[in-house]
Structure 1
Amino acid sequence: MKSILALLLVLIALPVTAASLTLELDHERKTWQTADLLTHPDAQTVRIADDVSYKHAMTYRAVPMAVLLQGLKPEHHVQAVALDGFAAELSAGPLLQSHGARAWLAVEDPAHPWPALADGKPSAGPFYLVWTDPQAGPVSPEQWPFQISSIKQLKTVAERFPALLPDPQLAADDPVNQGFTLFQKNCLACHRLNGAGDAQVGPDLNIPYNPTEYFAGDFLKRYIRDPQSLRHWPQAKMPAFAASVLPDPELDLLVGYLKHMAERKQQR
């Protein structure tokens, strides 16, 4: 056990090396190398005033996502896959914006590596999706995937994973369907539901039990607001969803979707 821990510490301490990013779009497949992105003609130095992952201001060399995703339309859908299995589902529309909340692919320079995210952990590199003026979005923390290894164009979540869908008899603007939209934005990057989804980080949120079935009263909402306040352990990965990110009315809608899906359990 000690030898394994020592090996992990050595690996963490190794210098940052160049990396590659695979971009898989319907009309194009391309692999970008670190050096190519750092010297890309559209690369800029961007300052992020309140970085979601580092919790303070950061400066990056970055390329606009709109440039890398040329050929996509706002109604298209992409997935950013991280090295640890985190799979962020992203509508192309916000990524293609050139004003307001603007998306950038930050590129870690091996000659000037970024700091570690925490003691004993690696940096957010080699590639990190960051936003300037995120408050104009609004942009949730789950839309800041880091340690990205690939970006893929896919069908929408509803098309790929029908097991996630609420009762089809509900109106499009029903609160449950609104909660489903929030689930995709805030939860699907880490969790599956009914076995459906691509994430490999957190537990399934319906099989065998839905959290609304074992969290009494308002404890589920308290858990979403501050997971460490109810379940504290050093390796916990779930972030806190503050009211500034997920306002109370949206939190109610999200929990409403989960309660609805507790009655729609199905095994894949």
Structure 2
Amino acid sequence: MKALILCAALLSSSPLYAAQLLIDLGSDSRTWQTEELLKHPEARDIRIKDDVSYKREMQYRAVPMAALLKGLKAEDHLQAVALDGFAAELNAAPLLNRKGAQAWLAIENPDKPWPSLAADKPSAGPFYLVWSNPAAGHISPEQWPFQVARIQRLAPVAERFPALGPDPKLAVDDPVNQGFALFQKNCLACHRLNGAGDSQFGPDLNIPYNPTEYFGSDFLKRYIRDPQSLRRWPQAKMPGFSNSVLPDGELELLLEYLRHMAGRKQIP
């Protein structure tokens, strides 16, 4: 994203930094400053149990995402782009909820910085999308982007990246198309496929080889559930997808999509 650096400009006047977040909804675009968000009329202190990034309970000053996305429709599609190239594809409907699983934009106060995510690593700030009661909405770890610089309304993934699409002859409710929806939710934030996607984070999942071509089915499922049980190294970043996040039936649908796409390679 060409505007990525501009969207997270760091200002040297505070002890840590103040930052900017660009929210571009197409018809309405606004750059929010840290101080503005901390003083937002709907800002409040919240507690998040089992925070996905910190692996423990955390407390944040946060604003409901619904308050920042006014005018957005439930059928709209958003992308949250992080400083490291992570690009989370998000359906608008869950972000607009104010009951059940509720999305919040957590804002890091420069005077009260959050802890680092790991040794020699920064915090999840300056902006972090978190969820209260995530189990109520079947929210996946990829829907918790941190170090967010830009949130923008975009066309759906299938329109933007035709190379990701299954055979158009398949029925809408075909297992492969169901798997494609799960791929968008759980994988596309980090990975490209056929060179298509916005993420700068993880490897392509079809070029030159699809993981279904070099992993046995059982080992691939194990890898998705617990990546470091098969490949362990200090800088590993892929999260595991537990059964509560990605039930066995959904995991099989995701693999159906990957197997299908192994036969639809497109060299970028």
TM over 0.5: yes
Shift of 1:16: 2.4
2:37, 2:120 → 1: CA distance?
A: 28
* Consecutive unaligned residues in structure 1, runs of 5 or more: 1-13
Structure 2: distance between partners of 1:15 and 1:58: 22
Residue of structure 1 equivalent to 2:247:
247
Q: Distance in 2 between the 1:242 and 1:138 partners?
A: 12
2:58 is aligned with 1:64: no
Give runs of ≥4 in structure 1 deviating > 4 Å: none
User: How far apart in 1 are the matches of 2:267 and 2:91?
Assistant: 27
Unaligned ranges ≥5, structure 2: 1-13
Distance in 2, matches of 1:63 and 1:253, equals 35
Partner SS state of residue 184, structure 1 = helix
- Structure 2 distance, partners of 1:216, 1:95, is 37
RMSD of Structure 2 on Structure 1 (CA): 1.0
Q: How far does residue 160 in structure 1 lie from its aligned partner after superposition? A: 0.3
Letter of the 1:146 counterpart: F
Q: Deviation digits for residues 47-95 of structure 1, max 9, x if unmatched?
A: 1011111111111000110110101100000100000000000001100
**Shift, 1:120, TM fit:** 1.2
Contact 2:76 2:92 in 1 (8 A): yes
| Deviation of 1:217 (Å) | 3.7
Q: Does 1:219 find its partner at 2:223?
A: no
SS at match of 1:170: coil
> Match of 2:6?
none
The residue that corresponds to 1:24 in the other structure is: 24
Partner of 1:258: 258
Partner Cα separation in structure 2 for residue 30 and residue 257 of structure 1: 37
Once the 2 structures are TM-superposed, how far is the Cα of residue 15 of structure 1 from its aligned partner? 5.3
1:137-156 aligned within 5 A: 137-156=137-156
Residue identity in the other structure for 2:76: H
Residue aligning to 2:124:
124
2:46 equivalent in structure 1: 46
TM norm structure 1: 0.94
The C-alpha deviation readout for 1:191-236, integer Å capped at 9, x for no partner, is 0000000001100000111000011241111111111111111111
Cα distance 1:240–1:74, how it changes in 2: closer, same or farther (>3 A)? same
Name the count of aligned residue pairs.
Answer: 255
Kept in 1: contact 2:15–2:111 (CA 8 A): no
Could you give the per-residue CA deviations for residues 106-156 of structure 1, whole angstroms, max 9, x where no partner exists?
000011110111111110000000011111101000000000001011000
TM-score w.r.t. the length of structure 2 is 0.94
Partner of 1:6: none
Alpha-carbon separation, structure 2, partners of 1:222 and 1:117: 25
Aligned partner of residue 208 in structure 1, secondary structure: coil
Identity among equivalent pairs (%): 71
Residue 34 of structure 1 corresponds to: 34
Contact residue 83 and residue 149 of structure 2 kept, 8 A = yes
Letter in 2 for 1:215: F
Q: Which residue identity is paired with 1:237?
A: K
For 1:157 and 1:16, the matched residues in 2 are separated by 36
